[in-house]
Chains A and B, each alone.
Chain A
């Protein structure tokens, strides 16, 4: 029995729902899971949201908003003054996490996963490597029947930063869709009645200028960004009794299952 949280950084219903014909496994997931939009009231910033999602703490408590702190240094796990779900469960349960992008390089727990491009993949080779390596390692870990597994793909966010509005975005959703097939369907994970699944993104995406809160600059050293984060994150759940309304509820749902 494994409680699997599969994060997909920046996945948005805008692309998924309008391309279900191309995204076979997203479509199948929608059939077997309850699906919803998690509308963020917190700023749609990856470090802030992923941190709250797995610590249960609000931004005012964990104080982590950006990958780089005010002193110009990259924020590390030990700089964040809260416990995460893996810290709380580790003594009594087998908890694994790979490629969790609340810090960079991305964070892994009870595993030595090394993320392509430090968890900030910026070109097609690295996007491809990340999709392959996260899938492969997650499958290896699922084989060990951990109590909790948390795995995150970050490639879509990076693709959307550069290519929002172009056909490349759908191409990479298709690539991810194939990986979802391998990871959740071909592996038999969803056939096990006792397994639980949450598929979640930390925010959605939209054209630059359309977001309620602008989180990215228009100009970067590599040219203009085409897209920006928006507040509508995807959420799909199977065998999860806890009602998830905000990122912190992911932490609560795991804690509720294992610690009551």
Chain B
């Protein structure tokens, strides 16, 4: 994480992002932009559209998203007039159908992937590791390789989580390079940009969600913080803590 870049003002950050994208435009022939329906990928997509004329939008479709996400993806396709490719592990979704997914019922590729992470069967939306691996990682990698993307741009940020603090703007993988133009942005920067540019964002944010993922694994901010309601002993202590921190006690 480069502290100087992270502490720049927003105009400086935008300039840096546009330079990264100019470089990506020069380096790659077949560019894909990852889009999740969330604020970071929306910002990234908007920046990409300023610099690069020809790109594909890739949406990893786990079949588990909120209706608002699917609606927003559709609107985004219209707005940016770029094809959205749904990266989807159709076999797993068909086999799941509300029941346990068993390794022996899957094709060779999915069987091999489950073996890699040492699972024999799992429940979609309940067992996170195999669910995310097959419905996100495998679906995404297969799509990237099918359409021959050599530069994949996405909206990860240094301050999102510890594991991303060492990421770089260009990160090589076996068959493509990942490009991270908004690595140095904060959450506030992203919202400022969205507001300033007047971008239509996913309505789930106004319903209290802070980070948008699959429906079964995403909670509202308030639910994360206060999933137990007042009246119970632990809630009383939480209220007391807040009163003390605000100086009311």
Contact = CB atoms under 8 A, between A and B. Distances in A.
A173 interface: no
B117 interface: no
Contacts, number: 76
B208 A133 contact: yes
B22 interface: no
A220 B221 contact: no
Interface stretch (A30-38, A54-62, A120-128, A247-255): A120-128
Contact of B222 (A66, A129, A136): A129
Interface stretch (A90-98, A110-118, A144-152): A110-118
Given A74-B240, A118-B235, A132-B206, A125 B221 contact: yes
B221 A74 contact: no
Given A125-B221, A136-B206, A117 B243 contact: no
A221 interface: yes
A67 B226 CA distance: 19
A217 B243 CA distance: 12
Interface in A120-170: 120, 122, 124-126, 129, 132-133, 136, 158, 161
B207 to A, nearest CB: 7
A104 interface: yes
Contacts of B230: 105, 118
Contact of B239 (A105, A114, A132, A220): A105
Contact of B246 (A74, A129, A161): A161
Contact of A221 (B207, B222, B236, B244): B244
A18 interface: no
B108 interface: no
B206 A220 contact: no
Nearest to A174: B195
Contacts of A67: 243, 248-249
Interface of A: 66-68, 74, 104-105, 114, 116-118, 120, 122, 124-126, 129, 132-133, 136, 158, 161, 216-217, 220-222, 225
